[in-house]
DNA sequence: GCGTCCAGGTCTACC
DNA sequence: GGTAGACCTGGACGC
């Protein structure tokens, strides 16, 4: 118990819906034990030490068990609140769903909090790993990054990525054409030219922030809009091949249609439309998991 | 076993 | 601003 941190949660929070919100729970250093319903993650202390943690529900609170003493309790609570989106206010989102029978389950299951990493840096690298490949390859790339460049299971730092060659990313990480992108991104962050963490609190209008994100090589419309969701902005739909196919199946008699038609369908949901389409297409995931 | 296609897209050159 | 073609990889699929 001495190495456990207990965190209060808002009334409209649901641990399982958040963990299952998208595939992030399957990407290292996350791992999920669905039998005991424990989400593992390896935090990183300010001095770089890896801090393995197990996150679970306990009597209406979130419980974080740390395997070793000497961690910064305040940091663990702050980062856990961040990755579970405990401070996000979804009242406006839920209110918007009133009267939409198809989406009633979202509020019932308290869905809508998208699991994220403690840093935007980590979410940015992972998002690039999701582009133009199967989910299986995404898992391989992220696992290789953590295993071969991370310290004791923690996600690697920009410094760790910046020091490696393109051949290393191609041969060891299996990053393919993304390999030079990883190096350029890491070098920009290390040099101070780019600060992904600033996107969390940016005053820029969303279209401008999206433009800034797209200046990162490997980040296009889908990746930028996915990252925007992870920093709390949901104006973009983040359409990818999977989301499109689900829309065709659920709203268009299994026939392909233009992205503009999809955009028109969700336009009524205003600033929350990106979260609405995600929930609309992922009910089965939230209920039974993304795999 | 082998070839093809495509997946949680993006970049560049060209018009 | 819009579009065609190239780009790594791994797994599914058809033959």
**pLDDT above 70: residue A291:** no
Q: Which nucleotide is nearest to A179 (CA to C1')?
A: C8
Give the pLDDT of residue A133.
96
Helix (H, G, I), strand (E, B) or coil at A8: coil
Strand B–CB A226 distance below 7 A: yes
Q: Which residue has the higher pLDDT, A178 or A46?
A: A178
- A206 touches A233 (CB < 8 A): yes
Cα A48–chain centre separation: 22
If we measure between CA atoms, which residue out of A232, A223, A240 comes closest to residue A277? A240
**pLDDT above 80: residue A289:** no
Please report, rounded to whole angstroms, the spatial distance between the CA atom of protein residue A178 and the C1' atom of nucleotide B13: 20
If we measure between CA atoms, which residue out of A62, A56, A64 comes closest to residue A38? A56
Residue A96 to residue A268: CA distance in whole angstroms: 9
Strand C–CB A177 distance below 7 A: yes
Per the structure, the residue whose CA is closest to nucleotide C10 at C1' is A137
Show Cβ contacts of residue A153 under 8 Å, excluding neighbours closer than 6 positions: A28, A29, A42, A50, A52, A146
Residue A70 to residue A78: CA distance in whole angstroms: 16
Strand B–CB A246 distance below 7 A: no
Please report, rounded to whole angstroms, the spatial distance between the CA atom of protein residue A179 and the C1' atom of nucleotide C3: 26
If we measure between CA atoms, which residue out of A112, A113, A111, A118 comes closest to residue A29? A118
DSSP A222: H
Helix (H, G, I), strand (E, B) or coil at A36: coil
Strand C–CB A217 distance below 7 A: no
Please report, rounded to whole angstroms, the spatial distance between the CA atom of protein residue A287 and the C1' atom of nucleotide B15: 49
Q: In degrees rounded to 5, what are phi and psi of residue A151? A: -105, 115
Q: Which residues of A199-232 are buried (b: 16+ CB within 10 A; e: fewer)?
A: beeeeeebeebbebbbebebbebbbbbbbbbbbe
Please report, rounded to whole angstroms, the spatial distance between the CA atom of protein residue A134 and the C1' atom of nucleotide C12: 11
Give the pLDDT of residue A69.
78
Give start and end residues of each alpha helix (H) in chain A: 15-19, 73-83, 91-96, 104-108, 120-129, 135-149, 158-162, 166-168, 179-191, 206-213, 221-230, 241-251, 259-266, 273-281, 283-288
**pLDDT above 90: residue A210:** yes
Average pLDDT over residues A97-105: 95
Please report, rounded to whole angstroms, the spatial distance between the CA atom of protein residue A7 and the C1' atom of nucleotide B10: 40
Please report, rounded to whole angstroms, the spatial distance between the CA atom of protein residue A266 and the C1' atom of nucleotide C14: 38
Architecture in CATH of A120-228: Orthogonal Bundle (1.10)
Domain residue limits, chain A: 4-88, 120-228, 241-287
122-141 of chain A touching strand C, CB 7 A cut-off:
132-134, 136-137, 140
User: Which tens digits make up the pLDDT trace of A16-44?
Assistant: 999 999 999 999 999 999 999 999 999 99
Give the pLDDT of residue A10.
97
Q: Which fold has domain A4-88?
A: TATA-Binding Protein (3.30.310)
Strand B–CB A222 distance below 7 A: yes
Give the pLDDT of residue A86.
98
CB atoms within 10 A of CB A268: 10
Which nucleotides of strand C lie under 7 Å from a protein CB?
Answer: 7-11
37-96 of chain A touching strand B, CB 7 A cut-off:
none
Which nucleotides of strand B lie under 7 Å from a protein CB?
Answer: 6-12
- A286 touches A17 (CB < 8 A): yes
Please report, rounded to whole angstroms, the spatial distance between the CA atom of protein residue A206 and the C1' atom of nucleotide B12: 26
Helix (H, G, I), strand (E, B) or coil at A131: coil
Q: Which residue has the higher pLDDT, A254 or A78?
A: A78
Question: pLDDT category, A71, cuts 50, 70, 90?
Answer: confident
**pLDDT above 70: residue A1:** no
Q: What is the mean pLDDT of chain A?
A: 95
Q: Which residue has the higher pLDDT, A201 or A70?
A: A201
Give the pLDDT of residue A70.
80
């Amino acid at each position: 118990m001495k190495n456990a941190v207990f965190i209060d949660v808002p009334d409209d929070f649901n641990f399982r819906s958040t963990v299952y919100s998208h595939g992030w729970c399957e990407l290292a250093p996350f791992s999920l034990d669905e039998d005991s319903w424990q989400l593992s993650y390896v935090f990183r202390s300010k001095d770089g030490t890896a801090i393995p943690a197990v996150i679970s529900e306990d009597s209406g609170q979130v419980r974080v068990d740390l395997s070793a003493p000497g961690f910064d309790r305040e940091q663990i609570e702050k980062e856990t609140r961040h990755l579970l989106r405990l401070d996000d206010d979804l009242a406006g989102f839920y209110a918007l769903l009133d009267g939409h029978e198809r989406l009633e389950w979202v509020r019932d299951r308290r869905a809508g909090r998208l699991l994220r990493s403690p840093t935007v840096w980590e979410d940015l690298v992972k998002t690039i790993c999701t582009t133009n490949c199967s989910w299986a390859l995404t898992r391989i790339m992220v696992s290789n990054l953590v295993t071969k460049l991370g310290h004791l299971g923690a996600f690697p730092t920009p410094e760790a990525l910046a020091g490696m060659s393109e051949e290393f990313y191609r041969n060891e990480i299996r990053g393919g054409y993304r390999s030079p992108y990883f190096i350029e991104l890491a070098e920009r962050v290390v040099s101070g030219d780019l600060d992904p963490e600033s996107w969390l609190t940016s005053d820029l209008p969303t279209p401008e922030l999206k433009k800034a994100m797209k200046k990162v090589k490997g980040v296009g419309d889908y990746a930028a809009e996915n990252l925007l969701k992870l920093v709390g902005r949901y104006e973009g739909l983040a359409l990818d091949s999977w989301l499109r196919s689900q829309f065709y199946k659920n709203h268009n008699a299994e026939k392909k249609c233009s992205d503009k038609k999809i955009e028109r369908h969700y336009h009524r949901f205003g600033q929350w439309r990106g979260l609405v389409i995600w929930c609309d297409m992922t009910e089965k995931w939230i209920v039974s998991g993304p795999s």
